[in-house]
Amino acid sequence: MKKFYPDAMTATVPVLERETFASRLLTWYDQHGRHDLPWQQDRTPYRVWVSEIMLQQTQVTTVIPYFERFMARFPDVASLAEASQDEVLHLWTGLGYYARGRNLHKAAQVVMAEHDGRFPVDSLEAMAQLPGIGRSTAGAIIAQSTGQRAVILDGNVKRVLTRLQAVEGWPGRPAVERELWQLAEHYTPHDRVVDFTQAMMDLGATLCRRGQPDCPRCPFHDVCLAHASGEQRRFPESKPKKTTPLRTTRMLLLRDAGGRVLLELRPSTGLWGGLWSLPQFDNDQDLGRWLDEHAPAAERGTPQTSFTHVFSHFRLEITPVPASVEHMDSVSEGWRWYDPQTPDSVGLAAPVKKLLQTLSPFTLSPPAGP
């Protein structure tokens, strides 16, 4: 068999020809794939784009209700571009990885301002330059919404290909990722591209799972190199482990006489960028100095039990510190009083939402409609 990309230093010999691979995969997909996901109905670049961004790092079952609420409120790119960031992030609350929501909003504004409200689906490069859209996501949007041949390499596809070809090394390494792109290019057909790209994602999500791959039902179990060696769970190799650092913070839970809670707007970038949070402090001394300056009449309560919120690169130990004040001078820009009884449509950091839900019997779930 001819080597694929013979000039590459880490060229890999594909286990199947393109046509054979696609035929096997599509036969499996026609019988066992997912055909009734909400974004598969009325496929437009906008709907596919929103679904692809939401599906990054998030499971389908979690995404579906968020997608449906999002479409009800923002049925097209123009309505999304015109919305406030607060409203967008409010509907994103609970999905996590909030930079996705901010970039979604920014990309909608770019599409309206620079592309006359139309996604540049004729150009992979132009799509990949939109905020929050990389090479694989751009390919998925183009393939899924237009049927043009475009190659994808999301987490599911990486897992399928690393096992199928027994590709050594962590897929996040540039050399390994280049090898996987070459394989993805080799296997992607010119026909039925919409179904093929969905089938690759479905195969990784439903059979070639991370922890418990269902090899006997896989259409490639007889040619999968990882399965042949009994090492399917070893692939793909994990990212080299580093000690996850622990950070600590104090969150001020300051309430006024009406039961409202003081919130601050986080900077647009960084941790919880653009979301509303409780005021945070590195230590009790800083918190105390802030109260002395801004709410000297406040009564400070006993700190509540700490809890840990886990991020991808560190753990944050949060200690809520309750306090109450009869009144304060009007709060400046970037601050607001938030009434838990009648919650505003604003984006909230996940642990803040968790704390606010303990104050009163109300729901912070995004609204069901516009």
Query: Distances in Å between the alpha carbon of 13 and those of 95, 106, 158, 164, 185?
Result: 39, 41, 16, 11, 13
Q: What Rg do the C-alpha atoms of the chain give, in angstroms? A: 24
Handedness of CA 5, 7, 10, 12 (dihedral sign): positive
User: Where does residue 34 rank: exposed (0-12), middle (13-18), buried (19+ CB within 10 A)?
Assistant: middle
Residues 6+ away with beta carbon under 8 Å from 164 = 15, 220, 223, 224, 225, 226
Q: Which residues pair with 261 in a beta bridge?
A: 255, 338
The 10 Å Cβ neighbour count of residue 362 is: 13
SS3 261: strand
Residue of 52, 87, 168, 185 marked active site: 52
Q: Which two tokens stand for residue 111?
A: 């599409």
Residues 6+ apart with CB under 8 A from 227: 163, 215, 218, 221
Strands 276-277 and 280-281: unpaired
Residue 56 has, within 13 A of its CA and on its CB side, a CA count of 22
**Is 52 known to be catalytic?**
yes
Q: What is the DSSP letter of 232?
A: G
CA angle 338, 273, 121 (to 5 degrees): 120
Q: What whole-number distance in Å separates Cα of residue 300 and Cα of residue 253?
A: 10
Which residues are designated catalytic? Answer: 52
